[in-house]
Structure 1
């Protein structure tokens, strides 16, 4: 098998699979992709590398149709469009990634012998992340679920959530920043205007008030100034700051940002560290999806970016890596769930 890079279509076998899709009538393409996934799930050990490569290409096409998925732009991908795919292929695709990454997998073993193995794994992890995004619920619904859980299990932490933001303050902030907030951010501010003091209430940085968002945005604008090293992308790397990024959450100068630049990524969540460039690969397709995942973590015990909710010895909410047992020498207790888990979901 000729391979020239780590992408799902950067090899002869995947390119041939793309040609097969193009040669198949449109209605038959989902079936061809399903077959590629099933062949891996039903295969004997060790998993054949050619089966794995075809299935990873199919996984990439499934992920491209998910919220936050990247379109397949490789010249070795299919030239013709893939029609809307059945919803069950998403879970099958996750199981395929499990099989490809686990021993005994010929493809995994071959990549493990190269210096590009971490990059190959990273590509699979990005596909897995997109496939595992929950279907977003309305923001008000997610906050209602979060509030209900916190009122019951950690009332001291719940008390730190601020009341709704005044609509006039939200409008003034948009005028100051010269951009419009996405609908899910406006809806979130209508539930809580950030928190009243620092607390580890969400898996990432704590949400800010409208005033805090404006203050952080203005600070970054002033620091970046007209310096192209801070404001202009460098190839595939994001700039340090962009005027169309909204810092909705922040801690110690590192912020979780909402990208309001025009294009298919508008509304996505990413990160902007005080000593690094912006990043969106590990982000979320939108704020609504992120808050849905947080609510699911409380209700069903699922993870969010490898983190899970815990209760400290004083009963406060604390997010930490899954499996953590202590915080600064004091015990952490896994947070209780609202109800039993009802559907497959991966962190």
Structure 2
């Protein structure tokens, strides 16, 4: 099998599979995608590499139709459009990817023998996380669920959530930045104007107040100035260090989580802008509403957010860490209790398939 890169279509077998899709009448293409995934689930050990490669390509086609999914632009992908795929294929694709990355799998073994193994594994991780994004619920609903959980189980953490932002302050910040905030950020600020002190209340960086958003944005714009090394994408397609159409909504130690408000299909997505590296969106979220939905689900159901789950410290405050963690600085951590009446929700992204890093 000729392979030239880690992408889902970067090999001869995947290209042949996409050619078969193009040759199949439109109504039959969803069935071909499903068959490629199911064959992996039904296969005997060890999993045949060719079956695995076709399933990875099929999973990429499913992910392309999910919120936050990347459109298929590879020259080796299908030339003809794939019709809307059934929603149940998301779970099928997740299970197929899990099968491919677990031994005994010929494809995994072949990649393990190369120096690109971690890059290949990360490419499948990014596919998988898109397939497991929850359906976004209204931001006010997600915050109401988070608030209710914290009031009951962690009053100390709940006390750190700031009251709603002042509408006039929000309008003034948007005017100063020359950016209209997306609806989900406006709705979030109408629930909580960030937090009153740094704490690990949510996975990732803590959300900022309106004043914090404006202050961090101004600082980054001033530092970047007109320097093309900081404001322009690299020749390899990397994001710039900073773009004035990014809204820094969360921040810690100079590193921020940003909302991309540039025109285009990615508008509203979440990404990261480190203080010492270029920005990136590969492991971000489709929108703030999706992220907050996942956080609320984690509190209520015990599911994870990018491999992190909520715990309670001995002081009764929330702390997010990897599943199975037992202590924080020598002090025991207790798994955060789930809301009564809720069964554990299957949302993927578990500890067994955490990203190996860039």
TM superposition score category, shorter chain reference: over 0.9
Question: How far apart are 1:106 and its partner, in Å?
Answer: 0.8
Runs of 4+ in 1 over 3 A off after TM superposition: none
After superposition, residues 1-347 of structure 1 pair within 5 angstroms as 1-234=1-234, 235-339=236-340, 340-341=342-343, 343-347=345-349
Cα contact 2:302–2:344 (8 A) shared by 1: no
Q: Offset of 1:344 from its aligned partner?
A: 2.1
Q: CA deviation at 1:343?
A: 4.0
Contact preservation (8 Å) 2:90, 2:131? yes
> RMSD in angstroms over aligned alpha carbons?
0.9
Q: State how far apart, in whole Å, the 1-side matches of 2:345 and 2:298 are.
A: 12
For 1:342 and 1:157, the matched residues in 2 are separated by 23
Q: Taking structure 1 as the reference length, what is the TM-score of the superposition?
A: 0.98
Structure 1 gap ranges (5+): none
Shift of 1:341: 2.8
Q: Give SS of 2:7's match.
A: coil
More deviation, 241-250/314-323: 314-323
Question: Normalising by structure 2, what TM-score?
Answer: 0.95
1:121-172: CA deviation from partner (whole Å, max 9, x where unpaired) = 1110110110111111000000000000000000111011111111111111
Instruction: State the shift of 1:305 in Å.
Output: 1.1
Segments of structure 2 that go 5 or more residues without pairing to the other structure are 350-358
Q: Distance in 1 between matches of 2:312 and 2:344?
A: 23
Larger relative contact order (Cα-Cα within 8 Å, sequence gap ≥ 6): 2
Secondary structure, aligned partner of 2:148: helix
Taking the aligned partners of 2:157 and 2:345, their CA distance within structure 1 comes to 28
Aligned length: 347
SS at match of 1:67: coil
Work out whether residues 303 and 345 of structure 2, in 8 Å CA contact, stay in contact via their aligned partners in 1. no
